[in-house]
């Protein structure tokens, strides 16, 4: 997500899913051995890192450094590494990445730094990489992304990047943000889904619902010909209890939803967009929330603040 006005969150409390208030036990993670840090421990490190495989790392920026607590991803090929997103500024991400590369026997490996989209909580660590040797930091606009990944027709066509024995597909998915992409890794059958699909608030401006829906439709089509076991997104904002979300709490995120969503979540999000009637409304679902918002809220308030005047 991105930074939003505090008023927004009081309004969000009204949007919790009243039909699902029965307490459910937190689902254990299928992918990760440890729970993600909850922000409660004052000594929590700036990053928590867990491996999916020896060449695939997930880094979570601590809640104690930002309520956004973004998830970042480091994929290693034979020739180069790919960092997906750089989080919120103010922490030493470059040092963390170089440490992981060194520890895995890849010190100094050439690096591509890309972003799922250009919001500040996904590009905030870029400055640390601009003078890193053998490093490319991809730009933030759709034009920059299309040019780097060889996307000849944005957003209808996909691009790709060869890391050496491991090629990722890059799918334009505008809606949440104009340059949003998802990254598919065939080696792990994971879709890195950014802020377009994740267990949290799926933000979009009222007039972007159509673009967002079209993007999710393209991802659904892609999933018919590519095995997608898991979606790993940019944040966790949902609680383990279905339909309930956290606000901007930095230090009290006990009972978070797990990070990973099954591939079937693509169909769930598609169905949510397909179910939008005359105009998009703030609508909670068990594992995510549609959060349309006007560019300028003016006198309107959720859940109906996209209603045409």
Q: In terms of CB distance, is 98 or 256 closer to Zn ion?
A: 256
69 forms part of the interface with Zn ion (CB under 5 A): no
Count of positions on this chain that bind Zn ion (CB under 5 A):
4
Measured between alpha carbons, how far is 260 from 60 in angstroms, rounded to an integer? 13
85 forms part of the interface with Zn ion (CB under 5 A): no
Measured between alpha carbons, how far is 237 from 15 in angstroms, rounded to an integer? 14
- At how many degrees (to 10) do helices 265-274 and 209-223 cross? 150
- Please report how close the Cβ of residue 116 comes to Zn ion at its closest, in angstroms: 8
Tell me which stretch binds Zn ion (CB under 5 A): 37-45, 113-121, 182-190, 198-206: 113-121
Tell me which stretch binds Zn ion (CB under 5 A): 54-62, 100-108, 116-124, 151-159: 116-124
Q: Which residue bears the tokens 């990254």?
A: 183
- Please report how close the Cβ of residue 79 comes to Zn ion at its closest, in angstroms: 29
Cα-trace Rg, the chain: 19
265 forms part of the interface with Zn ion (CB under 5 A): no
Tell me which stretch binds Zn ion (CB under 5 A): 72-80, 89-97, 227-235, 263-271: 227-235
96 forms part of the interface with Zn ion (CB under 5 A): no
Strand partners, 81: 76, 111
Q: Which of 85, 96, 98, 121 binds Zn ion (CB under 5 A)?
A: 121
Give the x/- contact pattern for Zn ion in 176-205, rule: CB under 5 A. -------------------x----------
- Asked if 61 and 88 count as a contact pair (C-beta separation under 8 A), the reply is yes
290 forms part of the interface with Zn ion (CB under 5 A): no
Q: Which residues contact 124 (CB under 8 A, 6 or more apart)?
A: 86, 87, 88, 89, 90
Instruction: Evaluate the CA torsion angle 266, 263, 17, 37 in order and state its sign.
Output: negative
- Please report how close the Cβ of residue 146 comes to Zn ion at its closest, in angstroms: 21
Q: Which residues contact 240 (CB under 8 A, 6 or more apart)?
A: 24, 25, 26, 27, 255, 256, 257, 258
1 forms part of the interface with Zn ion (CB under 5 A): yes
Contact residues: Zn ion, CB under 5 A: 1, 121, 195, 234
């Amino acid at each position: 997500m991105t930074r939003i006005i505090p008023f927004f969150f009081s309004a969000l409390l009204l949007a919790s899913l009243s039909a699902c208030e029965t307490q459910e036990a937190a689902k254990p993670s299928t992918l990760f051995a440890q729970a993600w840090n909850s922000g409660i421990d004052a000594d929590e490190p700036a990053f928590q890192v867990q491996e999916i495989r020896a060449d695939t790392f997930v880094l979570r920026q601590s809640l104690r450094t930002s309520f956004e607590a973004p998830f970042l991803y480091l994929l290693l090929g034979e020739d180069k590494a790919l960092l997906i997103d750089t989080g919120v500024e103010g922490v030493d991400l470059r040092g963390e990445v170089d440490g992981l590369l060194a520890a895995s026997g890849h010190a100094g490996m050439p690096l591509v730094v890309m972003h799922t989209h250009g919001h500040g909580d996904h590009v905030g660590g870029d400055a640390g990489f601009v003078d890193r040797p053998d490093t490319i930091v991809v730009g933030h606009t759709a034009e920059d992304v299309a040019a780097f990944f060889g996307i000849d027709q944005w957003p209808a066509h996909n691009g790709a990047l060869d890391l050496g024995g491991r090629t990722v597909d890059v799918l334009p998915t505008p809606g949440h943000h104009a340059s949003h992409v998802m990254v598919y890794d065939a080696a792990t059958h994971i879709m890195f889904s950014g802020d377009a699909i994740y267990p949290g608030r799926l933000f979009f401006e009222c007039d972007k619902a159509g673009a967002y829906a079209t993007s999710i439709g393209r991802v659904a089509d892609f999933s018919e010909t590519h095995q997608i076991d898991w979606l790993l997104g940019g944040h966790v904002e949902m609680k383990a209890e279905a339909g309930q979300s956290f606000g901007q709490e930095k230090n009290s995120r006990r009972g978070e939803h797990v990070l990973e969503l099954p591939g079937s979540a693509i169909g769930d999000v598609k169905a949510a967009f397909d179910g939008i009637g005359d105009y998009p409304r703030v609508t909670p679902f068990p594992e995510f929330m549609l959060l349309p918002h006007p560019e300028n809220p003016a006198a309107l308030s959720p859940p109906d603040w996209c209603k045409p005047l």
